[in-house]
Amino acid sequence: MSRIGRLVVTIPGGVDVRQEDGAMRVKGPKGALAAPVPPGVTLEVGGGTARFVRADDRKPTKALHGLSRALLANMVKGVTEGFVRDLEIEGVGYRAEVDGKRLKLTLGFSHPVLMEIPQGLTVSVERNVAIRIEGIDREVVGQFAADVRSVKPPEPYKGKGVRYAQERVRRKVGKAGAA
């Protein structure tokens, strides 16, 4: 059996998990999420836990078994606690601000970069250089954080750019004559 797929997902109080129309639906205090259940995998809910059972032992079905369990666990965590991703901006004159439903980044280009904030996300900026992205869907939070970082990834010589809060940027020495 799949090592991830065979683990049960504990459903905390106040969270409703059910399978209907080929999708698993999770409803909790922070909102509701839905994701399709792959073919060959079925969801069993009961007794405050949820587990997945697969139809056969083929390799694709095993992979989908673990994927389904991970998706459900992330959805349960999202509707109870939520997900947070922190970004930092490094560089002289680099800054960010939230302008309505858009994130405005000033990163040394000839113009500010405007990014639409996806539905369901909360973005806040502290000290003009610390961006905090919060939401209930782990995939959307992570993708938006990756999109913001991709505007100006950290460069290896001075470390300027947008990085994740705990990211460690490997630095290069630069020219041999510069000491």
Number of domains composing the chain: 2
Residues 59 and 89 in one domain: no
Q: What is the pLDDT of residue 178?
A: 57
Do 60 and 95 lie in one domain? The reply is no
Which structure tokens are listed for 86?
Answer: 């922190």
pLDDT at 2: 58
d(CA 90, CA 100): 24
Tell me if 32 sits within 8 A of 8, measured CB to CB: no
* pLDDT, position 45: 92
Give the model's pLDDT for residue 175.
83
Tokens 């961006």, residue located: 131
**Does residue 111 share a domain with residue 58?**
no
Q: 44 and 87 in one domain? A: no
**Residue 108 in tokens:** 């040394």
Q: Which of 45, 65, 80 finishes a domain?
A: 80
Are 18 and 50 in contact by the 8 Å Cβ rule? The answer is: no
Sheet holding 161-164, edge to edge: 122-126, 130-135, 83-90, 161-164
CATH code assigned at 148:
3.90.930.12
Q: What per-residue confidence (pLDDT) applies to 176? A: 76
For residues 130 and 64, state if they share a domain. Answer: no
Residue type (1 letter), 109? F
Report yes or no on 90 lying in a domain.
yes
Does any domain span residue 63?
yes
130 and 107, same structural domain? Answer: yes
> Cα(145)–Cα(166) distance, rounded to whole angstroms?
13
Picking from 34, 51, 80, the residue at the C-terminal end of a domain is 80
Q: Please tell me whether residues 105 and 145 are part of one structural domain.
A: yes
Domain membership of residue 171 (yes or no) is no
The verdict on 26 and 39 lying in the same domain is yes
Kindly list the distances between the CA atom of residue 138 and the CA atoms of 12, 13, 24, 74, 135, in Å, as whole numbers in the listed order. Answer: 18, 21, 16, 7, 7
Range of the domain at 142: 83-164
* Judgement on whether residues 98 and 74 belong to the same structural domain of the protein: no
Q: Does residue 125 lie within any of the structural domains?
A: yes
Q: Which of 110, 86, 109, 106 is nearest to 95 (CA)?
A: 106
Q: Whole-angstrom Cα distance, residue 17 to residue 49?
A: 9
For the entire predicted model, the pTM comes to 0.89
Nearest-angstrom CA–CA distance, 10 and 29: 16
- Tens place of pLDDT for every residue, the chain, 179 residues? 458 888 999 999 899 999 888 899 999 999 999 999 998 899 999 889 999 998 888 888 888 999 999 999 999 999 999 999 999 999 999 999 999 999 999 999 999 999 999 999 999 999 999 999 999 999 999 999 999 999 999 999 999 999 999 999 999 988 875 55
Residue 97 lies in a domain: yes
Instruction: Report the pLDDT value the prediction gives residue 1, as an integer from 0 to 100.
Output: 45
